[in-house]
Amino acid sequence: MNIGFYIKWDKHSLNSSGNVVGDELFAESLCKSINKQFTSIIAELYAPNHLPDKTLDVIIYLNDSPPNEKLSKYHFLYLQNGYEDNVDQIISRSLALGYDGYIFFSEMMKKVFDKKATNVKNSLFLPFGVDLDFFYPREKNNNFNYDCAFIGNDIKGTESAMRYLFPATEFNFGLFGNWKIERHKYKIWKNLKKLPPYKKVFQNISNGKIPQECVPVLYSSAKINLNNTIRSCIDWDVITLRTYEVLACKGFLISDSVPTAEKTLKECMVFTEGGKDLTEKIEYYLAHSKKRQEIAENGYDYVLRNCSIDSRVRELVNYIQEVVE
């Protein structure tokens, strides 16, 4: 069986001058796991700049791209991204496109789908899983010995950045990603003076794009890793992939709150309301290294038992086989 994963952005974002596309990294880890575990299946990532040269058996769209009959016999949608639309709008649009199978990273979204999709046999709830062959505890590197660290781009808005990241500037903060101010959005000079406080600070302190091979080293080396979740994932109760990746590296994590994470990971990470609360928690855990280590150990053990990409892939392949057979 030939399985393709399709993203709507061009492939090779790691080597581009633009943002790293998380969908590409996740899809590559899915392909790697399938090819490792199933000798009868070949999996590959495709994109507008890398299309299959023959018709596949199955293609899984990681964004809501319309099914393309030229690419594959069977078409699956994996809704694993943040969208501004509400759940009903997303599901109605997805049903209208007529995929053969539907996969969701949100259990809440799947429940809404199952009520609306009376003509669809079944769907799959498939949360994120981490590649434990890549994300594992690394030797601490003094180049990444930050008090706090964060990898990401300026895509989550002013409130999130100010509440969950900006307080870290009071400490030795290692910031990575694209934080350049898009000046074309501020054509009138006086508008630049109205920029949110974090914009110029983050542009100045950002270390830019981090090589992918250094990501687990950073997570393992920083005293505290930070996470802020895109609004739709909070609303849909989704534990982000970054959460699992940090914990898999035995990294200590402080994050905003997602209901499921607070239930299942309360002994594995620390949650914050942001702002002053984040500052106080950073100060406390910097002063209590043994407590940090204990919580990080809990997170590492939990992810090893419950959140591997290999276990997620086995669920995915079983679901695909049910649909196509």
Give 14-58 pLDDT, tens digit per residue: 676 666 678 899 999 999 999 999 999 999 999 999 999 999 999
Geometric angle at alpha carbon 63, from 62 and 68, rounded to 5°: 90
pLDDT band for position 9 (50/70/90)?
Answer: confident
pLDDT band for position 325 (50/70/90)?
Answer: confident
The whole-chain average pLDDT of the chain stands at 92
Dihedral pair phi/psi, residue 165, rounded to 5°: -125, -45
Q: Which amino acid would we find at residue 10?
A: D
249-286 pLDDT, tens per residue? 999 999 999 999 999 999 999 999 999 999 999 999 99
Whole-number percent of the chain with pLDDT over 90: 78
Average pLDDT estimate for 213-225: 98
Closest to 264 measured CA to CA, from 223, 301, 313, 226: 301
pLDDT band for position 184 (50/70/90)?
Answer: low
Report how far residue 25's alpha carbon sits from residue 12's, in angstroms, rounded to the nearest whole number. 9
Q: Is the pLDDT of residue 177 over 60?
A: yes
* Continuous segment of H or E residues that includes residue 181: none
Average pLDDT estimate for 144-168: 95
**What pLDDT score does 89 carry?**
86
In CATH, the architecture of 2-129+308-324 is 3-Layer(aba) Sandwich (3.40)
Return the C-alpha torsion angle 18, 23, 27, 28, nearest 10: 20
* pLDDT-wise least confident of 187-196, 260-269, 306-315: 187-196
**What pLDDT score does 193 carry?**
62
83-136 pLDDT, tens per residue? 666 788 888 888 999 999 999 999 999 999 999 888 888 899 999 999 999 999
Report how far residue 48's alpha carbon sits from residue 33's, in angstroms, rounded to the nearest whole number. 23
Sign of CA dihedral 229, 25, 142, 180: negative
**What pLDDT score does 240 carry?**
94
Looking at domain 142-306, its CATH class is alpha beta
CB-CB contact of 247 with 268 (8 Å) = yes
Residue span(s) of the chain under CATH 3.40.50.2000 come to 2-129+308-324, 142-306
* pLDDT-wise least confident of 119-123, 128-132, 211-215, 226-230: 119-123
pLDDT band for position 165 (50/70/90)?
Answer: very high
CB-CB contact of 179 with 203 (8 Å) = yes
